[in-house]
Chains A and B, each alone.
Chain A
Amino acid sequence: AQKVTQAQTEISVVEKEDVTLDCVYETRDTTYYLFWYKQPPSGELVFLIRRNSFDEQNEISGRYSWNFQKSTSSFNFTITASQVVDSAVYFCALSEGGGNDMRFGAGTRLTVKP
């Protein structure tokens, strides 16, 4: 069965600090997809990234970067030089290639203080 663990319930940093949000997943499939979503205080869910299991290349998008390591079943998310606007709950999610289900982690609440 597929499972996503986000061990960090809450993280608090001061603006301009770098912060890494951890995501560990479990699946028996060799084909799967990993996602990160952001939920700001307004409540909507904003898509950040999608990665398939055959592409282990790390990705950078502005201040955001993602480190995918199949050897440790991890898909960690780093925000460089954090800003107050990054304050949100961040969810990691997993979909197995053969199914129609998506499993979310419990989320990590990030607070960036000025």
Chain B
Amino acid sequence: NAGVTQTPKFQVLKTGQSMTLQCAQDMNHEYMSWYRQDPGMGLRLIHYSVGAGITDQGEVPNGYNVSRSTTEDFPLRLLSAAPSQTSVYFCASSQTRAAQGTQYFGPGTRLTVL
């Protein structure tokens, strides 16, 4: 099993550009989530999904969209990038929802918005 994979590993955007961060897992996990990690703030939940077709907002959802058309994939879209979105983004998955299960994290995507 590859576990949780994320692409790209690094990305530089200009303000106003859009892009999609890809996340995939091959463990047949129902729960998937996106976090951002900023210095001194730990990880903060952006969006999560409890199954295909079901998504919901986390602690910091503004500026991001998600969809979950399959169990395996959970892409994160930045519609109009802003410098405040410069961060490291982690995708995670869990066999059960985060409150009960252990989340397994991808390697992260380092995003810089100029």
Q: Give me the interface of A with B, judged by CB distance under 8 Å.
A: 4, 6, 9, 32-33, 35, 37, 43-45, 47, 50, 91, 93, 95-107
**What class of interface size applies to chain B in its complex with A?**
20 to 34
**Residues of chain B contacted by A107 (CB below 8 angstroms):** 42
B56 touches A100 (CB 8 A): yes
**Residues of chain B contacted by A100 (CB below 8 angstroms):** 31, 48, 50, 56, 97-99
Q: How far is the CA of A52 from the CA of B55 in the complex (A)?
A: 25
Closest Cβ–Cβ distance, residue A108 to chain B (whole Å): 10
Beyond A44-B105, A101-B48, A106-B40, 4 additional contacts (C-beta under 8 Å) are A9-B40, A37-B105, A103-B59, A104-B43
Q: How far is the CA of A43 from the CA of B90 in the complex (A)?
A: 10
Q: From A47, which residue of chain B is reached at the shortest CB distance?
A: B102
Q: How far is the CA of A98 from the CA of B48 in the complex (A)?
A: 15
B45 touches A105 (CB 8 A): no
B41 within 8 A of A: yes
Closest Cβ–Cβ distance, residue A44 to chain B (whole Å): 6
Q: Which of B43, B58, B99, B100 contacts A91 (CB 8 A)?
A: B43
Q: Which of A45, A96, A103 contacts B105 (CB 8 A)?
A: A45
